[in-house]
Amino acid sequence: MQAAIAAMAAHTILFSFTPSQIVLNPVAFSTPHNNPQLLSPFHGVFLNKLTRQSVTLAATAPKPLTVVASSKKAVAVLNGNSNVKGVVTLTQENEGLFSFKLLTTSILMNVYLIGPTTVNVRITGLAPGPHGFHLHEYGDTTNGCVSTGAHFNPNKLTHGAPEDEVRHAGDLGNIIANADGVAEATIVDSLIPLTGPNAVIGRALVVHELEDDLGKGGHELSLTTGNAGGRLACGIVGLTPI
Ligand SMILES: [Zn+2]
């Protein structure tokens, strides 16, 4: 039993999905009735929408076990060979805390549900109008913004718009500079987490010379880069205090 608990804990490292989609399927969590000690405390529980409040399925909790750490914040300071500069912050907060007690044990498990990442952008020195804005694969600026590689694309899809299902994770669309050359935006995106296997810490944000056509421009580069032109400035995403 202890081995089973350890295995369960080891596999319950990160829940990264939209809370409104959460359904704890009783079939998936049920175990054979001829072994009642392994019956899951999840049985029959559906959570269609979680809040930040704790959902506790057990009354006694002498040994809390936190599976995933709390909120994270990151920052990227963008610079390049032009006058374009900027600061971008990325914040990922917990959407809720799900606590449950493993049957026949005194272990309480706390699982944080990870929400989308909020990206606050302020970039100056741009030509007025839209500019492609992407999360690129590498946090490597040894050869300037060129060495940050292609758009971050862990699922090997083609380039698209942030709202498309088929897109690079790093496809954050366009930011729009005003007449003074200042672009300010708040982007909320679920594919650029700060924790987990696809975390973007250590990668780079890049602002481009031209508008990203979001894969729909018909240019030979539309499906890879959005034909967004040169890289005006970039910055490596690094952790910062919350
Ligand atoms: Zn892309």
Longest CA–CA span in the chain (Å) reads 71
Q: How far apart are the first and last CA of the chain?
A: 38
User: What is the average pLDDT value for the chain, to the nearest integer?
Assistant: 79
Between residues 44 and 155, which one has the greater pLDDT?
A: 155
In a domain, 33, yes or no: no
**Residues of the chain above pLDDT 70, percent:** 70
Average pLDDT estimate for 3-27 = 39
Q: Which residues contact 214 (CB under 8 A, 6 or more apart)?
A: 159, 160, 161, 164, 171, 173, 174, 226
| Å from CA of 225 to ligand 1 middle | 5
Whether residue 176 has pLDDT greater than 50:
yes
Active site residues per annotation: 134, 136, 151, 159, 168, 171, 208, 231
| Å from CA of 160 to ligand 1 middle | 6
**What was the pLDDT predicted at 152?**
98
In a domain, 142, yes or no: yes
In a domain, 54, yes or no: no
Q: Which residues contact 6 (CB under 8 A, 6 or more apart)?
A: none
The answer to whether the beta carbons of residues 146 and 133 sit under 8 Å apart is no
Distance CA 172, CA 188 (A): 9
CATH number of the structural domain spanning residue 97? 2.60.40.200
| Å from CA of 186 to ligand 1 middle | 19
Q: What is the helix (H) or strand (E) element at residue 171, kind and residue range? A: strand 171-177
Q: How many distinct structural domains can be found in the chain?
A: 1
The answer to whether the beta carbons of residues 80 and 145 sit under 8 Å apart is yes
| Å from CA of 82 to ligand 1 middle | 23
Whether residue 20 has pLDDT greater than 70:
no
Residues 80-102 have pLDDT tens digits of 998 999 999 999 987 677 777 77
Residue 79 phi/psi, 5-degree rounding, is: -145, 165
Q: Which residues contact 81 (CB under 8 A, 6 or more apart)?
A: 144
- The parent domain of residue 79 ranges over 70-239
Whether residue 240 has pLDDT greater than 90:
yes
**Which residues partner with 87 through β-bridges?**
77, 122
Rg of the chain, C-alpha, whole Å: 22
The answer to whether the beta carbons of residues 231 and 145 sit under 8 Å apart is yes
Chain centroid to CA 83: 30
- Least confident window among 13-22, 68-77, 188-197, 215-224: 13-22
Distance CA 91, CA 119 (A): 7
In a domain, 22, yes or no: no
| Å from CA of 17 to ligand 1 middle | 22
In a domain, 34, yes or no: no
In a domain, 204, yes or no: yes
Residue 197 phi/psi, 5-degree rounding, is: -65, -25
> How confident is residue 106, by pLDDT bands cut at 50, 70 and 90?
confident
| Å from CA of 2 to ligand 1 middle | 45
In a domain, 30, yes or no: no
| Å from CA of 188 to ligand 1 middle | 17
In a domain, 2, yes or no: no
| Å from CA of 240 to ligand 1 middle | 26
> How confident is residue 63, by pLDDT bands cut at 50, 70 and 90?
low
**What was the pLDDT predicted at 101?**
75
